Chains A and B, each alone.
Chain A
Amino acid sequence: MYAQILQATTNVLTFNVLAYITLGLFIGYIVGVLPGLSRATAIALLIPITYKLPPLAGISFLIGVSKGGNTGSALTAILINVPGEPQSVVTALDGYPLTLQGKAQKALKLALIASVLGDFIATLVLVALAQPLAVLAVGMGPVELTAVLIFAITFIAAVSGHSFYKGLIAGFLGLLLAAPRLDMETGQPRLTFGFADLSDGVPLLAVAIGTLALSEMLVQIDKGWRGSYLHKGAQLKAGTPENSRLSREEFLTCLPTILRSTFVGIGIGSIPGMGASLSSFLAYAWTKRRDKDPESFGKGRLEGVAAAESADNASVPAGLIPMFAIGLPSSASAALLMGAFMLNGLTPGPFLFRDDAVLVYSIFAGMILASGIMLIMGMVGQNLFARLISVSEVILVPIIIFLCVIGAYLEGSGMFSVYLMLVFAFLGYFMKKYDFSFITFLIGFILGPIAELSLRQAMIITDGKISSLTNHPIAILFLVLAALSIWSFASMRTLQERTGAAPEEP
């Protein structure tokens, strides 16, 4: 064992491997920063390059892309309110207000530290506990998944914005949008209006880019048009030294949040089929609800940025837990990585540890090292990209719109996705104008198909009888938690209404 680990460390500490890890992180970082281009697309495009590389270099390279992408996406979310990846939408919630307050540098620093810590801890957990955690994750069948999802949905109120009801409306709109596809039981098209392109559902990236990135461009154009536009470069300069520095105290206040959110990211990330966007949303919602002053979230709380970023980044290594341990990918990018393993003649799963133990430990060592490299790269990158907001919108907006179009096109469905994205850009624009939460909208859209599938599976498996739940103790646990969550939320609201502090209904 020790000999293997020693061997692994020597394998990783070669110029070649280090160079590929760094290159992977760099490409991932850039892809993450650029709105529109998605991490999964980048990995799919880069897999052929790894054919010619030795397995360790090739796989470390791809994992680097995956890690780098998650870290980079926070940058544009914080600086210009354009999330580079759908998961970072939660980061923008508090990150962008911080930028408007002249605290962009501070938010970026915190985001980077939270990212790297989340990633690092989750990687350690992957190395130490992959096997037992995977066994736990595999025990989560459709019935348990349904219970977890019901629990998650009770948190939706925490991100519903100023009006709970508007948040709810947006959430249901998202659910409705998730409905067109082939029905999972009959296999027949449902609400597709004859478009074969919709048979796998409305493409996620088109919706995400449209409502998140392109709609923000419309808002900016609109502001410039009306002359109410304020050059953000000026705000950046207005940032005083203490606004730019992340003090020790601030970091220590955020540390519990980071640890808690990392835990959420590991939990959600390691369950097959849950999707990474859920982890940052849940971590944020949990942090907000625990806080003494939940109303200050969304107006520039450091904890909000810390929660979203650490959970998001923790879910990347966590997503690899079931893949390494039992050969079951838990997300699209994990599935791609698994494909890359197999092209290199390696079958992820229990035999990987037996047959190629040195390689596995080498990959692990590479991942830990990647966290460190990411920290340095992030620090340099921030200083460079922070100038982004001093770039004139006349230049910035067209570039971002161009990237959005390319990104939607690249996702695979061709021009169909591009047209859809344009439609959703306008939808997102009006949602922003009329203060409908597009986060609840996205959560509804992303969770819709997962929830529908597991709910329908669970109904068949339990014969629709509540009594069958006795065979599923984990499901009962989460259902009880869901009930408690609703109860605590309801009592909080009643209290607010009684004291007249209810923030909604303008």
Chain B
Amino acid sequence: MKTLFTTAIAATLLSAAFAGAAGAEDFPTKPITIVIGFGAGGGTDAVVRAVAEPVSKSLGQPILVINKPGAGGGVAAMDVKRANPDGYTLYAGGSLTFAFEPLVLKTQYKWDDFEHVAMISLFQDGLFTHPSRPYKNMRDIINAAKAEKRSIKYASQYQLDRLIFAYVAKQEGVEIIPVPTQGGNGTVTATLANQVDFGFSGGTYGPHVESGALRMVGSMMAERMERFPDVMSMHDNGWMIGSGNYLIVSTTKGTPKAVIDKLGAALQAGMKTDTVQAVVKSRYMKDVFIGPDKANEVVKSELDKYAKLIAATKDAK
């Protein structure tokens, strides 16, 4: 039994070494695994599963997509951190996993424990309300709360939106209370039930806004949303902050550059296919591509942005 076990380990090591020796130009010589940091059925999941198809075709190897939700993508990220640096294990999920979570959770990884391959689209973080409420923008909500001398309640999804609205609350001198919900469907459900002033999500609102069941009142990003250009951004409201969550693909640190570039090119071509474009559109995400040359840089600058925001809200308190 013991010898069998040892042989198995030796074989695994040997094959790993062999794969390494085979060199980047042959990459990939075996199936690739993509670990999604979030549950099945969401926007991240849909886009990643869609793009896996053309990428697999162009690289000539099957791609196994698995979901490993937990700790804001942290559980999946840890898997990739521990994997062999050969580009066969990829993380896919929100860039907040690297640019924000390490700032607020005791994560066992840092943003630079990875090679960030590419950002393949941008979530359009939007704010929406129930159409029976009279608000047309965020300013209306704040004014109404001030006039009625009450607090504002909103359907929140995670730490980042709470931080942003803690900052806004301080700036405007109103109380903004987050109602914790789970995922985009959670915030949309609470807002559809008309039990909060507004809700936040990264794209789940789309079809509901289109059908008239919800109304957009703002973008939570510094800039306006692609699909709702008339809706005010955070900057338009005079709040010099904003969220930004990219759909990112990353791999283990130390992966050869040639492998990363090959993956990046395959992803870029894959994102351009009609099926993937249709999925990105149906999820109300923005078609953005940031390749291997820039991806690390963008993660770092996002991280710095959020560190500043945290410092600013701390001062505020």
Contact = CB atoms under 8 A, between A and B. Distances in A.
A-B interaction: yes
Given A188-B105, A349-B207, A196 B159 contact: no
A200 B185 CA distance: 17
Nearest to B50: A343
A460 B75 contact: no
B193 A345 contact: no
A184 to B, nearest CB: 4
A138 B106 CA distance: 37
A147 interface: no
B278 to A, nearest CB: 5
Given A142-B179, A142-B193, A187 B158 contact: yes
Contact of A328 (B71, B188, B275): B188
B211 to A, nearest CB: 5
A460 B192 contact: no
Interface string B230-263: 0000000000000000000000000000000000
B78 A196 contact: yes
Contacts of B107: 196
Contacts of B52: 48
A95 interface: no
Nearest to A339: B41
A182 B177 CA distance: 19
A187 B104 contact: yes
B29 interface: no
Interface residues of A, number: 49
B105 A189 contact: yes
Interface stretch (B8-16, B62-70, B299-307): B62-70
Most B CB contacts (10 A, CB to CB) among A47, A141, A348 go to: A141
A456 interface: yes
A457 B40 contact: no
A51 interface: yes
A425 B185 CA distance: 34
Given A200-B69, A328-B185, A453-B182, A141 B40 contact: no
B105 A326 contact: no
Contacts of B49: 47-48, 339, 343
Interface string B208-219: 101101000000
Contacts of B40: 40, 44, 332, 335-336, 339
Given A332-B41, A335-B41, A345-B282, A327 B108 contact: no
A460 B153 contact: yes
Contacts of A328: 185, 188-189, 192
Contact of A196 (B42, B66, B74, B177): B74
A332 B40 CA distance: 8
B181 A457 contact: yes
Contact of A338 (B41, B66, B178, B279): B41
A335 B192 contact: no
Contacts of A327: 207-208, 211
Contacts of B210: 351
Interface in A297-341: 326-329, 332, 335-336, 338-339
A351 B71 contact: no
Nearest to A200: B70
B53 A413 contact: no
A180 B246 CA distance: 29
Contacts of B190: 141-142, 457
A141 B193 contact: yes
Contacts of A347: 207, 282
A196 B193 contact: no
Nearest to B160: A187
A199 B208 contact: no
A456 B66 contact: no
Contacts of A139: 193
Interface in A349-408: 349-351
Contact of A460 (B104, B177, B208, B279): B177
A200 B193 contact: no
A233 interface: no
A150 to B, nearest CB: 17
Interface in A179-209: 182, 184-185, 187-189, 196-197, 199-200
Interface string A80-91: 000000000000
Interface string A126-160: 00000000000011111110000000000000000
A348 B282 CA distance: 10
B313 interface: no
B195 interface: yes
A272 interface: yes
B211 A196 contact: no
B153 A200 contact: no
A54 interface: no
Nearest to A47: B49
A335 B67 CA distance: 13
Nearest to B178: A185
B196 interface: yes
A48 B54 CA distance: 12
B180 A329 contact: no
Contact of A412 (B66, B177, B179, B185): B66
A415 to B, nearest CB: 12
Interface string B64-102: 011111110011001100000000000000000000000
Contacts of A6: none
A141 B199 CA distance: 13
Contacts of B158: 187
A342 interface: yes
Contacts of B50: 343
A141 B195 contact: yes
A272 B185 contact: yes
B122 to A, nearest CB: 18
B45 interface: yes
Q: What 3 A-B pairs come out closest when comparing CB atoms?
A: A335-B41, A141-B193, A199-B71
10 contacts: A141-B190, A141-B195, A142-B179, A184-B180, A185-B180, A187-B158, A329-B185, A453-B181, A457-B179, A461-B196
Interface of A: 40, 44, 47-48, 51, 138-144, 182, 184-185, 187-189, 196-197, 199-200, 272-273, 326-329, 332, 335-336, 338-339, 342-343, 345, 347-351, 412-414, 453, 456-457, 460-461
Given A345-B282, A347-B207, 12 more contacts: A40-B40, A139-B193, A142-B190, A187-B159, A197-B70, A199-B70, A328-B192, A339-B45, A339-B46, A342-B279, A342-B282, A460-B153
